[in-house]
Chain A
Amino acid sequence: MPVLQYVHLNVFANQPFTGNQLAVFLDAEGIDEKRMQRIANEMAFPETTFVFPPEVSGTDARVRIFTPSQELPMAGSPTVGTTFALAGGGRLRAGADKTVLGLGIGPTIVGLEWGQNGLRFAWMKQPIPTFGPIVTDTVAVAAALGIQPRDLAGGNLPVQVVSSGVPFLYVALNSRAAVDAAAVDRAKLCALLRALDLEELPVFVFSPEPADDGATVYSRMFAPVLGIPEDPGTGSACGPLGAYLLKYKAVSAKIASRLVSLQGVRMGRPSRIHIALSSRAGVLEEVQVGGEAVVVGEGTIRA
């Protein structure tokens, strides 16, 4: 029976038991797709990644990302966490300013910042987000989230679908308390989206209400459609989040060069996800999502 090693990390965090759990199999050659899915299901983390030799020239490795129920073409915390696992395993040249990982969506650049104890920060370059339909029935949105219509920020912050590969429904709320109070009613959410000819989507709720933690927004992400009731740290949602905040002038272009989304607090797993946007003459040119990760364990699967 083959013995497979994995590294267990907490991503978008620098303390154990916070951030997003991730398992990384650094030597995945020979594991077929069906087995990867079963292993990801067994691990029961939001995501498990499998690292293969590069398939495309110019990339340093092929990385496949699985939730317990499906493969994802891209995702933020698995990309950042896999980069930390590669660095910890001596698979990246110390001091290199970037690595290129072959994800499902294609070659993806990850910027690297090194400190005294190895990799300190990883920045994932994400596609420029695209904006989808706006949901105008705010009463229905509030009902689908179990909150009051007055909790919605409204005004210049519409409820809208935005995507960098995986679409999310973005809902801005007035207060952190309202974000904490939100609970998705899946049937109402589906009905709301069906009226717009949309399939079920994960929902990203956030509030720009400030506090003393340095976060630009306080957020939560619900993805019952992906088998994830709530996710503590969703990197793939943060590129679109930053683009949304910039487009609707919730932040200035200057501030958008370094934003922080504080997610997962309500779950007891705080994640700090950094977002860096650069634009020229009002046109968004580059989106990066980054953070820290900490190795909390390792293991061996005999399967």
Chain B
Amino acid sequence: MAQVKSYRYAVVDVFTAEPLAGNPLAVFPGASEFDETTMQKIARELNLAETAFVLPATREDCVARVRIFTPAKELAFAGHPTIGTAFVLFQEETISRNSSEFSLGEEVGPIPIRIEGGQRPLIFSDVCAGIRRSRGSGDRKLNRTFGSFHDAPPLYLESWGHLTKLESRSWFNSFR
């Protein structure tokens, strides 16, 4: 029998204060063992709009690196996965409960996050930073998607995220 290992993930409903509403997102808080192919397979398996994988930070100005996959492909940047991942890291206390501002390192570059704490923390992400950077990086697809925000002022998304599956576990005994 192959060694069976278990990987924990959370599913968080983003942009809602009510479970089973909003936009669900899967977040693997400790994904450093996964290669890209595995991340893509997991995202396809879970079949949510996006699945986010948290890796150790690769730059000093970020608290973590985050890679985001749809069931079909990796995204350099995306709004609801940024918010949802920040929420999970905050809930898990990977990010100190006292920190109110930090950045997540997505493929497009650092994405600034601001958290207003409290019973239901509100999370704001500087989406325009992501959009500006994707424009610069020549990710044409992203440019097209967000083209209408071309010269908009900084845009904030807000969320009362709700963890529906904090204790979810998955084990996969083969990734090939």
Q: Which residue numbers of A lie inside 8 Å of B, CB to CB?
A: 1, 8, 10, 15-17, 21, 35, 38-39, 41-42, 44-45, 268-269, 296-303
Contact residues of B between 3 and 53, Cβ < 8 Å to A:
11, 13, 19-20, 24, 41-42, 44-48
Tell which of A39, A44, A297 touches B168, judged by Cβ atoms closer than 8 Å.
A297
| Chain B residues in 8 Å Cβ range of A42 | 11, 13, 20, 24, 164
Instruction: Assess whether B164 is in contact with A303, with CB atoms less than 8 Å apart.
Output: yes
Instruction: Assess whether A298 is in contact with B169, with CB atoms less than 8 Å apart.
Output: yes
Sample 23 A-B pairs with CB under 8 A, ordered by A number.
A1-B19, A8-B170, A10-B45, A16-B45, A16-B173, A16-B174, A17-B41, A17-B44, A17-B172, A35-B20, A42-B24, A42-B164, A44-B48, A268-B44, A296-B172, A297-B172, A298-B168, A299-B11, A299-B168, A299-B169, A300-B167, A300-B168, A302-B163
Known: A44-B48, A268-B44, A296-B45. A301 touches B165 (CB 8 A): yes
* B134-169 to A contact mask, C-beta < 8 Å, 1/0: 000000000000000000000000000001111111
Find the A residue at minimum CB distance from B165: A299
Instruction: Assess whether A38 is in contact with B163, with CB atoms less than 8 Å apart.
Output: no
Find the B residue at minimum CB distance from A42: B20
Shortest B173–chain A CB gap in Å is 7
Shortest B131–chain A CB gap in Å is 27
Shortest B129–chain A CB gap in Å is 29
| Chain A residues in 8 Å Cβ range of B171 | 296-297
- Interface Cβ pair total, 8 Å cutoff: 66
CA gap between A301 and B164 in the complex, in Å: 5
| Chain A residues in 8 Å Cβ range of B47 | 21, 44-45
Shortest B62–chain A CB gap in Å is 29
Contact residues of B between 37 and 95, Cβ < 8 Å to A:
41-42, 44-48
CA gap between A44 and B24 in the complex, in Å: 9
Q: Which residue numbers of B lie inside 8 Å of A, CB to CB?
A: 11, 13, 19-20, 24, 41-42, 44-48, 163-175
Instruction: Assess whether A44 is in contact with B46, with CB atoms less than 8 Å apart.
Output: yes
Instruction: Assess whether A38 is in contact with B20, with CB atoms less than 8 Å apart.
Output: yes
CA gap between A21 and B170 in the complex, in Å: 13
Instruction: Assess whether B165 is in contact with A300, with CB atoms less than 8 Å apart.
Output: yes
Find the B residue at minimum CB distance from A37: B20
| Chain A residues in 8 Å Cβ range of B166 | 300, 302
Find the B residue at minimum CB distance from A35: B20
| Chain B residues in 8 Å Cβ range of A301 | 19, 164-165
Shortest B9–chain A CB gap in Å is 9
| Chain A residues in 8 Å Cβ range of B169 | 297-299
In the A-B complex, the 7 residue pairs with the closest CB atoms: A297-B170, A299-B168, A303-B19, A300-B167, A38-B20, A16-B172, A44-B47
Known: A298-B170, A299-B168. 7 other contacts (CB 8 A): A8-B170, A10-B45, A17-B45, A268-B44, A297-B170, A298-B169, A300-B165
Find the A residue at minimum CB distance from B163: A302
CA gap between A45 and B171 in the complex, in Å: 17
